[in-house]
A and B are shown apart, each in its own frame.
Chain A
Amino acid sequence: MGALDYFVVECPEPLGGEYYQRIVSTVLQDHDLVRVVAKIHVFIDPAVPIFVATGTTRKLPGLVSIRDFSDLKIEDHKVTISIANEAYLAPLLKILWDRFGQARVDQPDRLTIIMPLERDESEGLPDVVVSDPSEALYKDLIYAMQAIAPEGFKVRRQYYGNMKFYYVASENTLDEEINPLLSEKFRLMGESL
């Protein structure tokens, strides 16, 4: 996959490794993650057995606040929110209900919300964070790793954040020796955990 900066599948069985190279490539493309992942190193040893996927992501989109997808009109006793992107409507409503109570959140039509709020209550409202796209992307990434890993490897540990992720899976319990292995795989990519 040319779109990735680093893509290596390491396996003691060379033919098995080749098959997994194709599986990783197919799954990342199918889940639309090729542009998200920058580097990925997959290590599979069926003898142990263990599956380790380590990687880094490209810069992910930032947090989405109310001002990013709607037009706010703050008056003395009233706030009107006109929503431009319906995708954020449900999480926004949930936040507003939790904060002000359902009785004070009026929705005369699907894309308009009117709330009888005083100036002090509406302070900072435009900057309220509604969604974190990176959260969904990381979830997709871990889901993709589950699809790539051999199915029998049910015991797993996963991590994501700070533009890095790892996914370790095995049939057996995972012990502390995993940490040096993870560090080594990150080092091979020129990164550190």
Chain B
Amino acid sequence: MILVPVTYKGGIYRHDEIVDLIEDVGGYIIQKHFVAQEVVLQALVPRDDIELIRAIGKPLMGDIIPASLVGTEIAVVTMSLEIHHLPHASCDVAEYIRRNGAKTNMVGLARGFGKRIAQLNDEERDVINEHDLAIFMLGNFEMCIEKKLPVLRRGIDVPIVVCGGPSKEALQKIIDPPVSGYVGNVGRFMHRTKESDEIEKLEEIVAEITRVLDIRREEIAKDPLSVSPARLMDIITEQIPDIQDVTSPTPITVQVAGLRIKLPYDMFAGSVRECEIENGITIGAVADVMPSRMRDYILVRIKPFSDTNLVV
């Protein structure tokens, strides 16, 4: 069964029927939120059942659209949290990616600005490495990007997509060794992105991220995960009732090959490890349950089949 990431948007009235339907056909709801009279569901659904969900959702004013980034957690790395970089361009990019289903976290570097003085500290590095992908929002000058990027990428082992003012070709030329993705002509700007060419640029960023993540997913497919992250999310939601009390929009964030559980590590790591998936196989047997560097959250990294000889 191939699960496809989608977004369902529809009226609140009878939306629980859609929720039940997605679960009945074997899909997973990653995120559910209400916007006025509308409900937005980010979900992974079986490819063959998309038309069925669309048909049932139609009388409820609902529509189902592909959302390539559902089930991913992306770090938007901005050089600082000063007015120079926020809200434009960093928030514009983060918000647009979110619309495509990703869970984005803004990582504002303490000393990311400048050419010679730019730095990345160990906490920032570790937090970025907990994501599926990092987008580096860089500035307008080739010279600065060339000089500072080697410092900023040191120790980062997740795929990096670089956004910068110079053209894509110029970025490819100056960045050595290469990063996973490049989007040119998106450097520092201080106005809201609303013109059609600017929206196209945001689309280009989404396309580049999707391309990079597809490569990651293909790599994972060669040595599949012992359990699907979305399934693990369902199991944890069912077996650890305290997760219901977490007020965060995504108490459990689904990643490409893991989860972030927003419960204190010290108190809940043991219970997470002991959660049974099926036939006595616990989460501890198929995944590493580690402390996250983001607050005191729990990070779950699912082991591949080659490590566990198990697929549940």
The answer to whether residues A19 and B118 also contact, given A150-B113, A151-B79 and a CB cut-off of 8 A, is: no
B218 to chain A, nearest CB (A): 34
| Contact indicator per residue, chain A 120-161, by CB within 8 Å of chain B (1) or not (0) | 000000000000000000000000000100111110000000
Determine how close the nearest CB of chain A comes to the CB of B234; give it in whole angstroms: 44
Task: Say whether A152 contacts B113, CB under 8 Å.
Answer: yes
Contact A15 B166 (CB under 8 A): yes
Tell me if B141 and A16 are in contact (CB < 8 A).
yes
Q: How far is the CA of A22 from the CA of B191 in the complex (A)?
A: 9
Say how far B167's CB is from chain A's closest CB, in angstroms: 7
Q: For A13, list chain B residues within 8 Å (CB).
A: 140-143
Question: Complex: how many Å from CA A20 to CA B141?
Answer: 10
Contacts of B189 in A (CB 8 A): 19, 22-23, 26
- Best-surrounded residue of A15, A23, A26 (most CB of chain B within 10 A): A15
Select which of B82, B85, B115, B187 is within 8 A of A49 by beta carbon.
B115
Bound: A65/B84 CA distance, A:
37
Tell me which residues from 1 to 39 in chain A have a Cβ below 8 Å from any Cβ of chain B: 13, 15-16, 19-20, 22-23, 26-27, 30
The interface size of chain B toward A, counting residues with CB under 8 Å, comes to: 26
Closest CB in chain B relative to A127 CB, distance in Å: 40
**CB-CB < 8 A to A153: which residues of B?**
114
Q: How large is the interface on A (under 10, 10 to 19, 20 to 34, 35 or more residues)?
A: 20 to 34
Cβ < 8 Å to A, chain B residues 109-137:
113-118
Contacts of A22 in B (CB 8 A): 189, 191
Once the chains bind, are A16 and B140 in contact (CB under 8 Å)? Answer: yes
Q: Would A171 and B143 be within 8 Å (CB), given that A19-B165, A151-B80 are in contact?
A: no
Q: Which of B114, B166, B187 contacts A152 (CB 8 A)?
A: B114
How many A-B pairs with Cβ below 8 Å?
A: 68
> Are A19 and B188 closer than 8 Å at their CB atoms?
yes
Partner of A171, one of B115, B165, B190: B115
What is the minimal beta-carbon distance from A86 to any residue of chain B, in angstroms? 30
Q: Are the CB atoms of B141 and A171 closer together than 8 Å?
A: no
Task: Please determine whether A19 and B187 come into contact, CB atoms closer than 8 angstroms.
Answer: yes
Chain B residue at minimum C-beta to C-beta distance from A153 = B114
Tell me which residues across on chain B come within 8 A of A27, comparing CB atoms.
190
24 cross-chain CB contacts under 8 A: A13-B141, A15-B140, A15-B165, A15-B167, A16-B140, A16-B166, A19-B140, A19-B187, A22-B189, A23-B189, A26-B189, A46-B141, A47-B143, A49-B115, A49-B116, A147-B84, A150-B84, A150-B113, A150-B114, A150-B139, A151-B79, A152-B114, A171-B116, A171-B117
Q: Which residues in B have some Cβ–Cβ distance to A below 8 Å?
A: 79-80, 82-85, 113-118, 139-144, 165-167, 187-191
Q: A16-B141, A16-B165, A47-B143 are in contact. List 12 more A-B contacts (CB 8 A).
A: A13-B140, A15-B165, A19-B189, A26-B191, A46-B143, A46-B144, A147-B84, A147-B190, A151-B80, A151-B82, A152-B118, A154-B117
